[in-house]
Amino acid sequence: MIHNIFDERFLWAYAMPNPEYSIVIPAYNEAARIGKALTDVLHCIHERNWSAEVIVVNDGSQDNTAAIVQQFARQDPAVSLLENPGNRGKGYSVRHGMLQARGEVLMFTDADLSAPIEEAERLFAAISDGVDIAIGSRWLERTRQTIHQPLYRQIFGRCFNLITRSVIRLPFADTQCGFKAFRRSAAHTVFGLQRIERWGFDPELLFIALRKGFNVREVSVTWGHDERSRISYLRDGLKMLEEILYVRWNALTGIYDREPSHGASSKLPTR
């Protein structure tokens, strides 16, 4: 049962044409997790009296993810559902949501909330401190990990990070943490140039951000591994490595030097 956690005291915050924060959650067949995620996110928003919107981007789910989100949206005007044109991938979903978002600070987080939504305050604080982009990191302070990944996942993650450092020169300890916040202007530039639509989009975002001169800060966050992660470390891992090479190719051919496209669901080439 979904509890009606909307409090009319906060209606004014969501009636504003431009909320301070936008929280984007990509979702594909997340019926088992999206209800708890929205409950936790809304509780955090209301408890802290944030002016915020929550956008769930449904990536062609075949379960009742959309129906659950719609039920929350009927109870709380902070929540909205954004539909993709079929299953397009996490990268497409995040881009779609971020380019539709109305906030001054835009962030995205995974539906499993491996990083508790309260940790968003750490990202927002970095933005307030003057950076353009704040990215959550699982590796800056490993003591903040509440549930550790299995060893094979840790090895894959470290190897992938080493490759991103070598191929596209990213200086970050953790590029893949699905917990990132952007100033609105930075988000529109970076996501407007994004080309990769599936798992490898995170390093591309950071590569574009550095190329455009944005100030990016890595922020340690509390994080707990969720065993229900759908990523295949063989199939998706190989695809991610391929996409890293496409980032380098796009850079060499001037793709990232073009004007950003601000169409939220524009059909951009994935290469």
Map out the domains of the chain as residue ranges.
12-257
| Per-residue confidence in pLDDT tens, the chain, 271 aa | 444 444 443 444 444 568 999 999 999 999 999 999 999 999 999 999 999 999 999 999 999 999 999 999 999 999 999 999 999 999 999 999 999 999 999 999 999 999 999 999 999 999 999 999 999 998 776 655 555 555 556 666 666 677 777 788 899 988 888 999 999 999 999 999 999 998 789 999 999 999 999 999 999 999 764 555 555 555 666 777 888 889 999 999 999 999 998 764 444 433 3
CA dist 105 and 123 (Å) reads 10
Of 39, 54, 50, residue with least CA distance to 13: 50
In contact, 40 and 9? CB cutoff 8 Å: no
- Which two structure tokens, joined as six digits, stand for 21? 């924060």
Rg of the Cα atoms in the chain: 18
pTM value is 0.84
pLDDT score for 10:
43
Going by C-alpha positions, the residue among 72, 63, 66, 70 that lies closest to residue 40 is: 72
What's domain 12-257's architecture?
Answer: Alpha-Beta Complex (3.90)
